[in-house]
Amino acid sequence: MREIWASVTERGQVTIPAEVRKALGIGKREKVIFALEDGTVVLKKPRFASIKDVAGSVPALSPPRDWKVVEKAAKDEVAERFIQKMREGNA
């Protein structure tokens, strides 16, 4: 395993070294993921950095639905999951 050092600024910022950016294929203004596990941090490039990256990957609803109907269904699903967590004592 190769270690590459960097410094933390007073504002808590770190510049990702060029070698690491190149290895991960990270360009300017792209998103990164810091994964924390057992005191270790892993820097990853997201598979999809933005909604634009996945646009068109999901087929349109058939038949098309009104946005208000879709929004209500999503809110109902979130509420149902929360109620389930409450019943299990996890909320």
Q: Residue 17: give its domain's CATH number.
A: 2.10.260.10
80 is in which domain, residue-wise? 59-88
HSE-up of residue 57 (Cα within 13 Å, Cβ side) = 7
Question: For the segment 20-64, what is each residue's pLDDT rounded down to a tens digit?
Answer: 999 999 999 888 999 999 999 999 998 876 777 777 778 887 888
Do 39 and 65 lie in a common domain?
no
Do 44 and 7 lie in a common domain?
yes
- Cis check for the bond before 63: say yes or no (omega within 30 of 0): yes
Question: For the segment 12-21, what is each residue's pLDDT rounded down to a tens digit?
Answer: 999 999 999 9
